[in-house]
Amino acid sequence: MNPFKFVLFVSFVFGSAWGLTSCEERGKESPPIYVPNADEHIHSDEQHFKNLHQMTFGGSNAEAYFSFDNSQLVFQAKNPDWEVECDQIFLMNLAETYSNEKMPPRLSTGKGRTTCSYFLPGDSLILYSSTHLGGDPCPPEPERRVGGRYSWPIYRTFDIFIADLEGNTVAQLTDNVGYDAEATVSPLGDKIVFTSFRRETGDLNLYTMNLDGSNLQQITDHKGYQGGAFFSPDGSQIVFRGSAFTTDEEVAEYQELLNEDLVQPTKMEIFVVDADGNNLRQVTKLGGANWAPFFHPSGEKIIFSSNHHTERGHPFNLFMINIDGTGLQQITFGETFESFPMFSHDGRHLVFSSSRNNEEGTRDINVFIAEWNEE
């Protein structure tokens, strides 16, 4: 165990310093989050939103996820006005809003490109993935392929790090020569799930590990990309987005792109698997891009982003579906982009990223919080 991991391990053993409590206890005394400031931006059909609050104004802000006590968000953003040219990790205080003129505290190094941050139990540490060990500059983004098809880069210099809320790097959890990213933490506070490209498999699969990086376990092994994973509220299941091939040609195209460190996200479905890797099942069969899934607080439904309802490929809206694939329901009715939903740990609020309420001509993606109406 390297010195960084040892420090983390000692902190974990003496968990009282992190203030780890049960999910039920965490939800009992959630602090007030905000005073609504954007009710007029709720569409008339969005019956699950009691009110809506816009947290950011300008730039590209995404993957905002709650602290265990629901008082803060950690998120990734890029914004030329902050001199941030590719995604870095920031901390959001829910009592404040942020704009091109007001940058939140940065927790990542400011080097390379980062993605997918998440709080660890106790809310004094976060994990995130970064390419900074592969070089200080932003890694190049892939050019659009013939036909204009969009692809995601799979940077092999991504590794998973832990930082404190002052932006100090505390630990490096992976050192695999390949993609290690998209990491999130179980509500039980005992496991991390992430996506990894490993030489022994030659593919992008889901893995779990302990909070100190030990006990690596491969969870999925079927052909194709599997990522964007989250645990169920009781920690027993994992929901994720994944490739859903229907032809040999699609498999061949996936492999061709993967050889170039690319993944095409235009055809994905939602899957669920037990946390030990058993009982894999496909939840959606909608066509199009279905992604960014997250469990409803009941553990019986999944909220996710999708463009299946339009032939143009956009807009993306939020939908919810029962875990058995029944009861599909549209949640948002925006005209551009809605994604990256997460319920607060007490189930009272939903945070998501959206392009609604943009000034004319801008393509900003901002963070919104809605008070959730279960009726």
pTM above 0.95, yes or no: no
> Could you tell me if 263 and 225 are in contact, meaning their C-beta atoms sit under 8 angstroms apart?
yes
Q: Which of 352, 373, 370, 346 is nearest to 67 (CA)?
A: 346
Please give the share of the chain, as a percent, with pLDDT higher than 90: 81
Which residue did the predictor score with more confidence, 159 or 144?
159
Domains of the chain: 34-372 (2.120.10.30)
Sign of CA dihedral 32, 230, 204, 312: negative
Per-residue pLDDT reduced to its tens digit, 160-209: 999 999 999 999 999 999 999 999 999 999 999 999 999 899 999 999 99
User: Left, alpha or beta for 201 (phi > 0: left; psi -120 to 50: alpha)?
Assistant: alpha
- The amino acid occupying position 68 is F
Cα(290)–Cα(320) distance, integer angstroms: 11
Which residue did the predictor score with more confidence, 92 or 27?
92
Residues in the chain: 375
Residue 298: pLDDT over 60: yes
